[in-house]
Amino acid sequence: MIRNPEVLCKKLGLAFNNPELFTIALTHRSAGANNNERLEFLGDSILGFVIAQKLYKLFPKAGEGVLSRLRASLVNEESLAGLARQHQLGDYLRLGLGELKSGGCRRDSILSDALEAVMGALFIDQGIAACQQWIEHIFAEKLQSLSLDNWQKDPKTQLQELMQSKKLDLPDYVLQTMSGLAHEQTFKVKCTVPLTSETCIGVGVSRKKAEQSAAEQMLELLNKDSK
C-alpha cells in the first residue's frame, strides 16, 4: 500500500502550495504519463548549481578540478539514493506493477531520480531560494564531512587509491605516441582500469603529465558512470 505523500512531505520539512507537484515528483514513469521525469530533469540542474555554489563558498582556495571532484562525490546516484533511503522515500513512490514486483522502490536510479524530482517540484512551487535552503539542509552532514586533504591529491594517486579501496588491480598506463622535437615533445598515454571497459587518453608535454591527464579523465568518467 502506497503511503500518503503528505506524511513524507512533513518528514522532509516541506509544505507545498501545490501538493500535486509533490505527488508527481514521487511518480515513476512506469505508473503513467504524468510522471516525474521532467521534474527530475529540472532538479538535476538545480542540484548541480546549488552544490557548486556551496562548495565555491566553503573552499575559497580550491581549484576547478578539486571543486569538480568534490561536487561529483556528492551529486551522484549512490549519494542521492542514500539520502532518499535515509528519509524512507521509497515507501512513498508511485510505481507501475512491474516495477513494484521487481523492487523498484529500492533501486538506486529510481530513488535518486525521485529525490531530484522533489527538488524540481520545490523550485516550481516556491522558487530557487527555498529550493537552495532545503538542498543545503539535506546535504548538511555530507558537506560538513568534506575535507580538501584527499581531494588535493594528484589524479594518479586518487585513481590508484580508488582501485585499492575496491581491492582491484591498479590502473594501467600505456604510452601510445611520442611526437615532436626533443625540446617540445607531446606524449599520449592510455589509461585503463578494471571498473570500466572504456579507456582514457591523456596528452601532455611529458609522460608524467600525460598520465596525470589520463587519470583525471578516468576519475571524471567513473564519477559520471556512478551517477
Element housing 96 (H / E): none
Residues 40 and 46: their CA atoms lie apart, in Å, by 10
**Does 184 count as an annotated binding residue?**
no
Annotated active-site residue in 20, 64, 77, 116: 116
Catalytic residue among 44, 99, 108, 216: 44
3-state DSSP assignment of residue 200 = strand
Strand partners, 165: none
**Greatest Cα pair distance in the chain:** 71
DSSP characters over 115-152: HHHHHHHHHHHH-HHHHHHHHHHHTHHHHHT--HHHHT
116 is in an annotated binding site: yes
Give the 3-state secondary structure of residue 19.
helix
DSSP letters, 60-84, are TT--HHHHHHHHHHHSSHHHHHHHH
Centre a 10 Å sphere on the Cβ of residue 120 and count the other Cβ atoms it contains.
25
Active-site residue flag, 44: yes
Angle between helix 37-58 and 128-138 (nearest 10):
70
- Asked if 184 is an active-site residue, the reply is no
* Burial environment of residue 162 by CB neighbours within 10 A (0 to 12, 13 to 18, 19 or more): middle
- Please report, in range form, the residues annotated as the binding site: 40, 113, 116
- Residues marked as binding for Mg(2+)? 40, 113, 116
Catalytic residues: 44, 116
